[in-house]
């Protein structure tokens, strides 16, 4: 799916999932996206073309965690970053190589078109007194479970949040050509299977899809984070995504980082406009644990997630095992 492909979700009921950042208006494209299909880490500050829905989307609740950080970034006029082709720091490149090797060793699941991907995640967002933007603290983690078709965006998925009622997740048929396996913005497992496993080719594809939005390094890091933390990618594709991340200039290592439920790990990170986004991994197994956004000036967390389970099930609402 290219950047002009008009694909959007119609789930306006998910507007209630929006975090409550400090009285700053979110970019129109990102706000629309998060309301309509659950998940957007909200780093996009550019509005969509007039009369067209936004195409950028984060595909899982791990995505919701950066709303406050995005609100801060959106308040600043974006400018192009200086060109830098050096790639990640040496320490980050070594760490990502180990993470990629661990990902490549995972068994490749046999997935039927009729199945659903299942993600269980805990998410912590900023909570501010009276919406004033003052006295903000990180709220208690909330559990979300998401089911999405493994092969076709036209099939209705499901959200179950914090033990509440089930909410259908459905893309508008106005923007789909059914059946539709999705794209970089809205991936199904079948789409992820089709991605190139050469990291240079994969990074080029991602940069082409995001052309004209945020500066390439930030948008590439954000997009890869979407695909790794939220969706379920085949092992070879996951490994290629980590290796592609090692090609992004400005990626660094955080020796100790904590996810939304307090698990410690090592992180690879990218800093943009005063906010550091971290992907957190087990120091022993290099398994993905979750992510966190941190305000550099204060060291305070703008949000965090913890991914507990990825799996495939036979129908929406079914629990693994």
Q: List pLDDT tens digits, range 187-228.
A: 999 999 999 999 999 999 998 887 665 667 888 998 999 888
Determine which of 106-110, 134-138, 232-236, 286-290 has the lowest per-residue pLDDT on average: 134-138
- Within 10 Å of residue 196's Cβ, how many Cβ atoms? 14
d(Cα 304, Cα 63) in Å, to the nearest integer? 9
- Number of domains making up the chain: 1
Domain span holding position 278:
12-77+86-313
Position 310 pLDDT exceeds 80: yes
* Closest residue by Cα to residue 191 from 237, 157, 146, 158: 237
Tell whether 274 is covered by a domain.
yes
Position 74 pLDDT exceeds 60: no
pLDDT classification of 86: cutoffs 50, 70, 90? low
pLDDT classification of 293: cutoffs 50, 70, 90? very high
Tell whether 230 is covered by a domain.
yes
Position 303 pLDDT exceeds 70: yes
Q: Assess whether the previous peptide bond of 179 is cis (omega < 30° from 0).
A: yes
Position 14 pLDDT exceeds 80: no
Largest CA distance in the chain: 49
Tell whether 97 is covered by a domain.
yes
Stretch 147-163: mean pLDDT:
93
pLDDT classification of 128: cutoffs 50, 70, 90? confident
Residue 213: predicted pLDDT:
57
d(Cα 139, Cα 302) in Å, to the nearest integer? 10
Position 66 pLDDT exceeds 50: no
Of all residues in the chain, the percent with pLDDT exceeding 70 is 69
Tell whether 5 is covered by a domain.
no
Tell whether 6 is covered by a domain.
no
Q: Which contacts qualify for 97-101: CB closer than 8 Å, 24 or more apart? A: 97/242, 97/243, 97/246, 98/286, 99/242, 99/268, 99/281, 99/286, 100/238, 100/239, 100/240, 100/242, 100/243, 100/246, 101/239, 101/286
Indicate if the alpha-carbon torsion angle 115, 121, 228, 78 is positive or negative: positive
DSSP characters over 35-95: HHHS-------SPPPTTS-------SGGGGGGHHHHHHHHTS---PPPP--S-S-HHHHHH
Tell whether 49 is covered by a domain.
yes
Tell whether 134 is covered by a domain.
yes
Tell whether 4 is covered by a domain.
no
């Amino acid at each position: 799916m290219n950047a002009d492909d008009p694909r959007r979700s119609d789930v306006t009921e998910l507007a209630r999932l929006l975090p409550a950042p400090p009285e700053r208006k979110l970019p129109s494209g990102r706000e629309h996206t998060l309301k309509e299909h659950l998940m957007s880490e909200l780093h996009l500050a550019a509005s969509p073309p007039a009369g067209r829905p936004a195409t950028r989307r984060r595909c899982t609740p791990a995505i919701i965690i950066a709303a406050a950080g995005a609100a801060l970034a959106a308040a600043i006029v974006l400018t192009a970053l200086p060109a830098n082709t050096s790639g990640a720091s040496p320490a980050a490149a070594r760490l990502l190589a180990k993470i990629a090797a661990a990902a490549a060793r995972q068994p490749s699941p046999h997935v039927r078109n009729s199945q659903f991907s299942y993600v269980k995640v805990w998410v912590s967002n900023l909570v501010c007194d009276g919406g004033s933007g003052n006295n903000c603290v990180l709220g208690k983690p909330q559990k979300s479970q998401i089911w999405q078709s493994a092969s076709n965006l036209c099939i209705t998925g499901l959200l179950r949040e914090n033990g509440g009622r089930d909410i259908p997740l459905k893309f508008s048929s106005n923007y789909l050509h059914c059946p539709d396996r999705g794209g970089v913005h809205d991936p199904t497992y079948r789409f992820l299977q089709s991605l190139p496993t050469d990291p240079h080719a994969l990074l080029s594809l991602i940069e082409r899809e995001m052309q004209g939005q945020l500066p390439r390094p930030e948008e590439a890091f954000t997009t890869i984070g979407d695909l790794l933390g939220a969706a379920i990618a085949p092992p070879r594709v996951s490994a290629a995504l980590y290796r592609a991340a090692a090609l992004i200039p400005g990626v660094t290592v955080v020796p100790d980082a904590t996810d939304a439920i307090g698990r410690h790990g090592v992180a690879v990170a990218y800093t943009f406009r005063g906010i550091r986004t971290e992907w957190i991994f087990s120091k022993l197994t290099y398994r993905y644990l979750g992510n966190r956004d941190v305000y550099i000036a204060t060291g305070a967390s703008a949000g965090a997630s913890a991914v507990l389970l990825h799996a495939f099930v036979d129908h929406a609402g079914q629990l693994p095992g």
